[in-house]
Amino acid sequence: MEHRLDKAFPRHQSGRFKNLKNLSSAVLQLILFVTPWVNWNGRPIVLLDLPGRKLHLFEWTFWPQDIHFVFILLMMACLTLFFVTALWGRIWCGYACPQTLFSHSFILVERLIEGDRHKRMKLERGPWHSEKTWKMLLKWSIWFVMSVFLGITFAGYYTPIRPLFTNFLTGNVESGTLLFVGFLTAVSLFFFGFLRGRFCSTVCPYARFQGAMFDRDTVMVNYDFKRGEPRGKVKDKDAADCVDCTLCVQVCPQNIDIRNGVQFECINCGACADACDTVMLKVDRPLGLIRYASEAEIEGGKTQYFRGRPLANAVALVALLVVFATLFFGRNPLEFEVVRADSEGVSATTADGRVSNRYKVRLINKQHPSMEVELGLDGFEGAELIAPVNPVPVAAESSEVIQVFVLVDGEKVPAVKHFHFVATDRADPTQKRQVKSTFIRARL
């Protein structure tokens, strides 16, 4: 058997789990490649606008002030992964991880060009000749095109993909975008064409700490050693059900032998179960010698699905979901920032003898309809707010920055006065923001 860190040449194998993986791969990759092309209210349905420091997601826009939502979403994603792993092991790795799905797409191209397992191994390890040269060139050329398209797709989540794609076709792409796509192309070729399953064994941290989430009731791909041992040929009367055909090893994308027990390299893809079932059918023996089962089931017991670890993860996940929904649907679409503009001194004296302070005000409209925001003062009797325009029109999902002045009779204000700026949406007075600030009388 090959060493598990050697390059894997998985044999083609059909079966119910392979069909399920093909379906999940098709659906997830369709979502990935189609999403940047779908528009919502005149813009991509998902767009991380780095220059504008905004994340557009369907009809919602998230600003840097909403970073707590991102943190909660990441926590929910982690808890979901922990919950799923405690119940079904590395099912994510086998059926949804981009590394697995894209690697299998690259392997499909390789198999169509070079043939199945034994032909690929012979070609890879044999001397260079004309057939090997043109097959390798063709394979890597197709991989390169796939990687470029993948790079453009990922770039489409940061910049609108329609003009981006047009710029690539016309050769007018910006150097920064070209560098980004080139980097993703190189990464794709390295990860999906060269590393493949070795990424899961040597780079991915999830493979290392997954064991802390497993217990004897975790359902994963397992070899039923009670049925399978001792191994032997079909006609061997002293042998159990395993005929030692090694098909389970040949189809494994991770180069492991599942009969040696649970191993951290296993991604729970079920390829070995499909291969074993085909052999069991041929030798007229019960299916499921290799199957999705818990250690408790293999040992003759029953799997306990309702147990402490997954329940704790589920409770924490629901709690975070409630917190997220409460904060999200209760958030104020109006954000308000005030910064003192003191480049020319803290205060100034006007022609009529009043003292003025200058402030830079930034209004953010997080919702889609535009709004008119009226600025005012609270807790500063006798002061006057001077703005170039008031109320201030703020377009949908955008921000507006203006400079305002606060004027007051110098004899009626202390050296330092604390007060609040108030911003109110005229269409909905319940949407109101206050920002505490200070007025300084002395000129520095």
Selected residue with higher pLDDT from 342 and 169: 169
Helix (H, G, I), strand (E, B) or coil at 17: helix
Residue 444 has, within 13 A of its CA and on its CB side, a CA count of: 10
Whose structure tokens read 């005229």? 426
Condensed to tens digits (0 to 9), the pLDDT of residues 359-377 reads: 999 999 988 788 999 999 9
Instruction: Output the pLDDT for position 359.
Output: 93
What are the Cα distances from residue 247, in Å, to 1, 236, 355? 11, 19, 87
Instruction: Output the pLDDT for position 443.
Output: 56
- Whether residue 251 contacts residue 272, with contact meaning beta carbons closer than 8 Å, is answered with yes
CATH number of 334-440: 2.60.40.10
pLDDT surpasses 90 at 436: yes
What percent of the chain is predicted at pLDDT more than 90? 67
Helix (H, G, I), strand (E, B) or coil at 241: coil
Q: Which residues contact 256 (CB under 8 A, 6 or more apart)?
A: 4, 249, 263, 265, 266
Selected residue with higher pLDDT from 345 and 30: 30
Condensed to tens digits (0 to 9), the pLDDT of residues 415-424 reads: 888 999 999 9
What average pLDDT does the segment 264-272 reach? 92
Average pLDDT of the chain, as a whole number: 90
pLDDT surpasses 70 at 344: no
- For residue 43, which amino acid is it? R
Residue 379 has, within 13 A of its CA and on its CB side, a CA count of: 12
Q: How confident is the model at residue 3 (pLDDT cuts 50, 70, 90)?
A: very low
Selected residue with higher pLDDT from 411 and 361: 361
Whose structure tokens read 């040929």? 233
Angle (nearest 5°) at CA 62 between 60 and 66: 135
- Whether residue 308 contacts residue 87, with contact meaning beta carbons closer than 8 Å, is answered with no
pLDDT surpasses 80 at 306: yes
Q: What is the 3-state secondary structure (H, E, C) of 327-355?
A: HHHCCCCEEEEEEECCCCCCCEECCCCEE
Selected residue with higher pLDDT from 15 and 52: 15
Condensed to tens digits (0 to 9), the pLDDT of residues 230-260 reads: 999 988 888 999 999 999 999 999 989 999 9
- Ranges in the chain annotated CATH 2.60.40.10: 334-440
Task: Kindly report whether the peptide bond that precedes residue 230 is cis, defined as omega within 30 degrees of 0.
Answer: yes
In whole angstroms, what separates CA 301 from the centre of its chain? 38
Instruction: Output the pLDDT for position 343.
Output: 63
Smallest CA-to-CA distance from 268 within 86, 426, 92, 82 is with 92
Q: How far apart are CA 257 and CA 249, in angstroms?
A: 5
Instruction: Output the pLDDT for position 333.
Output: 87
Length of the chain: 444
288: left (phi over 0), alpha (psi -120 to 50) or beta: left
Instruction: Output the pLDDT for position 312.
Output: 94
State residue 412 phi and psi, 5-degree precision.
-110, 10
Number of other residues whose CB lies within 10 A of the CB of residue 160: 15
Condensed to tens digits (0 to 9), the pLDDT of residues 270-302 reads: 999 999 999 999 999 999 999 999 999 999 999
Whose structure tokens read 């994308």? 253
Does this model's pTM top 0.85? My answer is no
Q: How far apart are CA 275 and CA 18, in angstroms?
A: 10
What average pLDDT does the segment 136-159 reach? 95
Helix (H, G, I), strand (E, B) or coil at 128: coil
Smallest CA-to-CA distance from 107 within 194, 4, 231 is with 194
